[in-house]
Structure 1
């Protein structure tokens, strides 16, 4: 049975910003699986009604299994869902305020502030998510899906590939240039691949341009994540997704590009709908059974 709201306390007048701040404090510092992050996102958007849910209610609303909700509560350090729900109610109905911040920043903090501004530029550029959704749908429909990244862009390509293979049946990361890359592009095209996601961040390797030229030669479409709207790489792309690169640190920071790729993966999962979520659930179940990840 669901609990009734607190007498005399209207949900409509609760401070939404305070609730979100309290919930983020509850979630921060914990490593959550994709399914658990789905639950967290649902709670951030629907906390005022979720405080009255059972674990089965929350699982149904968030689109996950009931064991995933139980594992979510455990991942946050609670002994069970009832204890977590009490903490959730405190976050919603309590009167705690976010801690005050000091406006004085040192040099490193100023560099981080510059990075935050880049992320804000990325956020503003996604005000219309139409292109992101279009590209996500195209990539999700490509089997195999190819992810290309060389030199400094290779780690982000591998991160994207590692996460994408949790929800797609065939993901291939291409990080070796030259004839080997040409062979792999050709074989993938013959196997039915339609799209390659290329990550081209400065400094731009000459071999990346050569790889994109070959991709077009074997009739693959190209989605490019880069920081410049015009250039030799963008001329070869069918879709260009822009993410600013911060050059204030001794080495370039790719925080915005990483967030953009994560947003692209998130949108791909939405595109796949039940199929992608089922693959994520299966991965979580296998990982829990095999005790792949530390819990303490």
Structure 2
């Protein structure tokens, strides 16, 4: 089974030029994105040439970029298969948990360990540079549309609430009817759409995505696997683990990611965020509602 540690060791041990090292490191920290890209797409992304991309792959011991990409796809596929252990139907999850015959103490420990690993996935699967790019998109967008359904609606609503405290023009699209289409249909080129979608993925999310892409707006997708539906449409793809021992997906790690994004955005906006919060403070004090 391919391992990113193997790829990292190859990069360290190989005698790469400065340009080749730049390409290799980008691949290492953006595997979930690069595994869908052609050599020309990657070259365009990094403002280099197809020749440089293939030369880098050969310097690492591959026949070319296609062979390296195949190994990355196998790695992503393995990760997806491993995660599928946590994608059983809700009723079957309960049955599986009962079959494990976990004691109360062991159950608490297992849930703690699993959620700790989920949180770590935020940092292992999303580089600081990627998180910064997402923050920059949010900071420079005229309007921010946020979509989530059922199990992810609460995440979307909390994200929208936090963003609304420090930045204006946040539009929530979390209902279960056509009103989501009505809200997103006004999206423009300088706007962005944030979609939070985990297994089981809502099929009509594609309708909203199509509107977003037709208007050339930025799409940020927060999901649980690089091979999830819609991932190929994302301008920024953020992966987070939602594995759970119970009958539901865990929202612990996604909430950690959203709070991290909001915190970094507040730091970036600085005085603008402070000014908006100061404007809200008298009303918060008056109503005692926050």
Cα distance, 1:120 vs. partner?
Answer: 2.1
Cα distance, 1:281 vs. partner?
Answer: 2.8
Query: For residues 281 and 246 of structure 2, what CA distance do their matches in structure 1 show?
Result: 37
Q: Show the counterpart of 2:268.
A: 271
* Structure 1 SS opposite 2:221: strand
Asked if 2 retains the 8 angstrom alpha-carbon contact of 1:177 and 1:208, the reply is no
Asked if 1 retains the 8 angstrom alpha-carbon contact of 2:193 and 2:220, the reply is yes
Cα distance, 1:270 vs. partner?
Answer: 1.7
TM value normalised by structure 1: 0.58
TM value normalised by structure 2: 0.59
Q: Show the counterpart of 1:280.
A: 277
Question: Larger helix proportion, structure 1 or 2?
Answer: 2
| Uncovered stretches (5+) of structure 1, i.e. residues with no partner | 1-103
Cα distance, 1:180 vs. partner?
Answer: 3.1
> What's the RMSD between the two structures over aligned residues?
2.1
Cα distance, 1:148 vs. partner?
Answer: 1.0
Query: For residues 180 and 251 of structure 1, what CA distance do their matches in structure 2 show?
Result: 26
Asked if 1 retains the 8 angstrom alpha-carbon contact of 2:187 and 2:217, the reply is no
Asked if 2 retains the 8 angstrom alpha-carbon contact of 1:245 and 1:254, the reply is yes
| Uncovered stretches (5+) of structure 2, i.e. residues with no partner | 1-103
Asked if 2 retains the 8 angstrom alpha-carbon contact of 1:142 and 1:193, the reply is yes
Asked if 1 retains the 8 angstrom alpha-carbon contact of 2:119 and 2:253, the reply is yes
Query: Map of 1:215-230 to 2, 5 A cutoff?
Result: 215-230=212-227
Query: For residues 256 and 180 of structure 1, what CA distance do their matches in structure 2 show?
Result: 29
Asked if 1 retains the 8 angstrom alpha-carbon contact of 2:187 and 2:212, the reply is no
Q: Show the counterpart of 1:185.
A: 184
Q: Deviations over 1:98-152 (max 9, x none)?
A: xxxxxx94213312221112212323445x4111111111112212211111221
Cα distance, 1:256 vs. partner?
Answer: 0.5
Matched, 1:292 2:266: no
Task: Tell which structure's C-alpha radius of gyration is larger.
Answer: 1
Query: For residues 179 and 293 of structure 1, what CA distance do their matches in structure 2 show?
Result: 31
Query: Map of 1:243-254 to 2, 5 A cutoff?
Result: 243-254=240-251
Q: Deviations over 1:236-268 (max 9, x none)?
A: 111111110113122111111111111111111
Asked if 1 retains the 8 angstrom alpha-carbon contact of 2:171 and 2:183, the reply is no
